[in-house]
Amino acid sequence: MKRLLIIVSLLWAANALAESQEELYYRALKAEEAGDIPHALDLFDSAVAVSGPYTAEIQEIIDDYQSVLKESDEYSADDSAQNPWAFHTYGTINYSGLHYKKKGTSDAETGGEAAASINASVEYESQNWSHALELNVSGDWFIDKDDMPSLDTNSWETSVGIGYSLIGNSLILDIGASINFSENEEWNPDFYIWVEKYLAQNGKQKFGLATSAYKNFDGPTSASFYGTWHHFAKYGWNSTIYAGARYESDSLSSLYILKWLGPSLRPSVSYKFKTDISVETKLNLFYGFVIDEPATTYDGVQKFSGSWAFNISWRPGMFGTFIGFEQLYRHYLNTSEYSIGYPKWSLLSKLKAGIRWNI
């Protein structure tokens, strides 16, 4: 009887520690998104071996990969099992047409922006954890800058950064720092951190909490706290909602730093076809109230800022292309542009196209 109880206890412990099919499926999708196809295949195989509601769907994904792998020896799951290390490079090159409009002017300002980003990462898989150390170099070049005086931008900006990410069954950590250089400034550093913890899962849905912080030592600061919801799938609909509170501090004039606090909402919806075409739309909304006013001029001032974007991308392999449209809107309430030194509202529109790669 004692031996039977020990066996039952061991079986219960093994089952408690085992990952569910949903968890394995999610980790496989994350590995695939990071470009680690061999590890993703291992996780898809493990997910199929665990009973669950997505066995047929996961098996279809495995069959799709196997049909491709029969024609190519580029990836080997056996090599992945023996070597937990991986190296990836990825980046983008794009051009954006810019259109800027603000209150008080009849004519819009137009210009262009070319941008490039190159990233290199070293990744290591350790049981249920994925570690990545990343180096990044990016740059922006503004074209026809003199035709957009309201933006008051530099002709060029560049950044060199380093980051570390940790992905587990229910935790995501992303932390990094960079040094920024521009035409009219010597250099200034910034720092960011993002932490997300999944608290519950129901099928393809995950619920959790997230917090983030950003600090530019010569510019804006922000911090946020969100409740999160994710719906994930290999193909079809993917959705995310971050809802919570956000803090910002920025320079509204040459004399004062304003601090804002208010609700923030960041939803996104995407659809991925089996033709490797993806369509995505997303919002980033913030309504801020001034706190700790530096002068009576700013009493009761409120700010609504938001961005909305629509993108179409196609990546059949290591290289892909994308096109998208984005608008950034800012509106100050309970004040006039004369008292704050900024237009009461402004709208910046971007039409962007480019290429990206993940090797």
The predicted-structure confidence for 92-112, as pLDDT tens digits, reads as follows 999 999 999 988 677 888 999
pLDDT digits (tens, 9 = 90+) for 164-181: 999 988 899 999 999 999
Mean of per-residue pLDDT scores for the chain: 84
Q: Range with the lowest mean pLDDT among 58-72, 128-142, 219-233, 340-354?
A: 58-72
The residue-averaged pLDDT of 144-150 equals 79
The residue-averaged pLDDT of 242-263 equals 84
pLDDT at 103: 80
If asked whether residues 97 and 196 sit together in one domain, one would say: yes
191-226 as b/e: b if 16+ CB within 10 A: ebbbebebeebeebebebebebbbbbeeeebbbbeb
If asked whether residues 77 and 216 sit together in one domain, one would say: no
Residue-number span of the structural domain to which 162 is assigned: 85-358
Q: Which of 82, 104, 130 is the last residue of a domain?
A: 82
Which residue's entry shows tokens 């931008």?
Answer: 153
Which residue's entry shows tokens 């009973």?
Answer: 51
CA 173, 236, 167: angle at the middle one, nearest 5? Answer: 15
Give pTM, 2 decimals.
0.78
If asked whether residues 242 and 183 sit together in one domain, one would say: yes
> How many domains, in total, are found in the chain?
2
Q: Which structure tokens are listed for 238?
A: 């993917």
If asked whether residues 305 and 268 sit together in one domain, one would say: yes
State the sign of the Cα–Cα–Cα–Cα dihedral 297, 298, 302, 305.
Answer: positive
How many whole angstroms separate alpha carbon 328 and alpha carbon 337? 18
If asked whether residues 160 and 293 sit together in one domain, one would say: yes
Report whether pLDDT(118) > 80. Answer: yes
Q: Which of 37, 63, 82 is the last residue of a domain?
A: 82
If asked whether residues 231 and 349 sit together in one domain, one would say: yes
If asked whether residues 74 and 107 sit together in one domain, one would say: no
* CATH, residue 281: 2.40.160
Cβ atoms of 82 and 72 closer than 8 Å: no
* Alpha-carbon dihedral angle through residues 209, 210, 211, 212, given to the nearest 10 degrees: 180
The residue-averaged pLDDT of 217-232 equals 92
Report whether pLDDT(143) > 90. Answer: no
If asked whether residues 153 and 230 sit together in one domain, one would say: yes
If asked whether residues 241 and 155 sit together in one domain, one would say: yes
| Helix 55-69 / helix 37-49 crossing angle, nearest 10 deg | 140
How many whole angstroms separate alpha carbon 258 and alpha carbon 250? 6
Report whether pLDDT(15) > 70. Answer: no
Determine what percent of the chain is predicted with pLDDT higher than 70.
Answer: 84
262-289 as b/e: b if 16+ CB within 10 A: bebbbebebebeeeeebebebebbbbbe
